[in-house]
Structure 1
Amino acid sequence: MQLGTRWSAGSEPPASVPASLRAEISRVEAELPDDAPRPSWTLTWLEGRPIAELDTGIEVVIGPDGVAISRPFSD
């Protein structure tokens, strides 16, 4: 695993966040409650694939079809 970077939800993702994840990250952020503290994202790489994990327990990954999906963390 390669550690990437962290950023706050609602702020511009760093340049290192792949374009393939950005739309799904934005969709997840749009569902966050406005009155709660902003969680942070962590970008990591596993076997060369990007994974964006939100502190709330959601991750955004590239699915088998090459499209970004969000799901609860998997162990």
Structure 2
Amino acid sequence: MQLGRRWNVGAEAPGQLPEAMVVAVRGVEDELASESVDTAGWGWTLTFLEGKPIVALDDGTSIHLDDAGHAQVTNPDDAAEED
């Protein structure tokens, strides 16, 4: 069993996180900064599902690895809208 953890936006990502996910986390944080989003108090949560890392930001953004090992970012705005 692998234990997850939390870290603040802008802080160093956990060492157990694959480099592709670290790059994706930085990309999300850079995008938020460029949009002047106030992320004070926001954090990332690392969990594992079947041994694979998943990170989620407090705003609902999530990042996982696809079968090829590439980071896939899902933004909360990408979710289908309900009628």
TM-score of the aligned structures, taking structure 1 as reference length: 0.81
Share of identical aligned residues, percent? 38
Deviation at 1:63, TM superposition (A): 1.6
- Who is 1:10 aligned against? 10
Larger radius of gyration: 2
Deviations 1:4-54 (A, max 9, x none): 110001111122222231101100010114451241000000011100110
The yes-or-no answer on 1:40 pairing with 2:43 is: yes
- Who is 2:66 aligned against? 63
Per residue, is there more strand in 1 or in 2? 1
CA distance in 1 between partners of 2:10 and 2:37 (Å): 13
CA distance in 1 between partners of 2:74 and 2:37 (Å): 23
Per residue, is there more helix in 1 or in 2? 2
Superposition RMSD in Å? 2.2
Runs of at least 4 residues off by over 3 Å: none
Unaligned 5+ segments in structure 2 are none
